[in-house]
Amino acid sequence: MTTHSQRLRETVSLVRGRLNSLIHEVWFHPRLSELFPEFLFAMYGITVASAPAMRAAATRCSALAADDPLAAWLHRYYLEHAEEETGHEQWLLDDLASFGIPRDRVLQRLPYPGVAVLVGVQYYWMFHVHPIAYLGYIAVVEEPASMEFLETISRRTGISLSSMSGHVMHARLDPDHVAEFDAALDSLPLLQHHQDLISVSAIATVAHLENVFSDILEHFERISDSASAATIFTAPRIALASASREL
């Protein structure tokens, strides 16, 4: 018998080929050491929104609790998860600072519209359909890179692991996240409309993430356009040599 998580992963795998390819283009970009701050900026935009979105989902679950048998479980899950995610954006701010990009410059820059879309649709679903939709987002987004992969990237590019602390901390703290999420999903008494909503949310998340990763690459290509380059975070090669913070 196919479990909820197996079915969800099969559905996601159908549609995430292009996303995988775009993520690969970023990580294996021939100028990753210069591109990396732009990547971190996009990841910051996503990460800073995670704990607040989970708390919003938990709030919505509270409102549904009297009539919805899933609401109590979801409320607890989202609050626990929000607690785990709180403050993780600070790692990314530290990483950007290691490239010479100060915190206030990051906070002043407008996030990608694609990031707002990625996160914003979740608020629509949680408040106007059902907060279980956010599980579809988590299923796609929360998949940290492995330490082995990050170490390989570091050796290849010269970017120190201390300048990838956001990625490194997740790789170290949460290597079993996907398996734990799948087990939690499989423990739920989901009805067909719950499964559909989780799946539709996941499909949309893949599509919106494609746009975010496309934006990262396209923004970087504009470096040659001096008028646009001012809005882009890039690392001068000299910054890499000085990025030596210890984790």
Partner 1 sequence: MTNVERLQEAGLVQIHHPLTDDEIQSVNALSSAEIDALISVRAKLGDVFFQRKVQDGDSHRMGTVML
Per CB under 8 A, the list member of 25, 94, 182, 215 interacting with partner 1 is 25
225 lies in the site for partner 1, by CB under 8 A: no
Nearer residue to partner 1 within complex by CB, 175 or 236: 175
Q: Which of residues 91-130 bind partner 1 (CB under 8 A)?
A: none
Compute and round to an integer the Cα radius of gyration of the chain: 19
How many CB atoms are closer than 10 A to CB 228?
12
Q: How far is the CB of 51 from partner 1 (least distance, A)?
A: 10
Q: How far is the CB of 203 from partner 1 (least distance, A)?
A: 5
CA 42 to chain centre: 9
Q: How far is the CB of 29 from partner 1 (least distance, A)?
A: 12
Site string for partner 1, 30-69 (x = CB under 8 A): -------------x--xx--x-------------------
d(CA 208, CA 18) in angstroms, rounded, equals 12
3 lies in the site for partner 1, by CB under 8 A: no
Nearer residue to partner 1 within complex by CB, 59 or 86: 86
Q: Which two tokens stand for residue 242?
A: 């000085």
d(CA 100, CA 7) in angstroms, rounded, equals 44
Residue with tokens 């099969």: 10
Candidates 104-112, 127-135, 155-163, 204-212 — which segment interacts with partner 1 by CB under 8 A? 204-212
What is the helix (H) or strand (E) element at residue 32, kind and residue range? helix 32-47
Per CB under 8 A, the list member of 70, 79, 106, 140 interacting with partner 1 is 140
The dihedral built from the CA positions of residue 115, 120, 123 and 129, taken in this order, carries a sign that is: negative
DSSP 145: P
d(CA 158, CA 162) in angstroms, rounded, equals 11
23 lies in the site for partner 1, by CB under 8 A: yes
Per CB under 8 A, the list member of 122, 160, 163, 199 interacting with partner 1 is 199
Residue with tokens 């993520």: 23
How many CB atoms are closer than 10 A to CB 246?
7
In the complex, which residues of this chain contact partner 1 (CB under 8 A)?
7, 10-11, 13-21, 23-25, 27, 43, 46-47, 50, 85, 88, 138, 140-146, 148-149, 166-167, 170-171, 192, 195-196, 199-200, 203-204, 206-207, 209-210
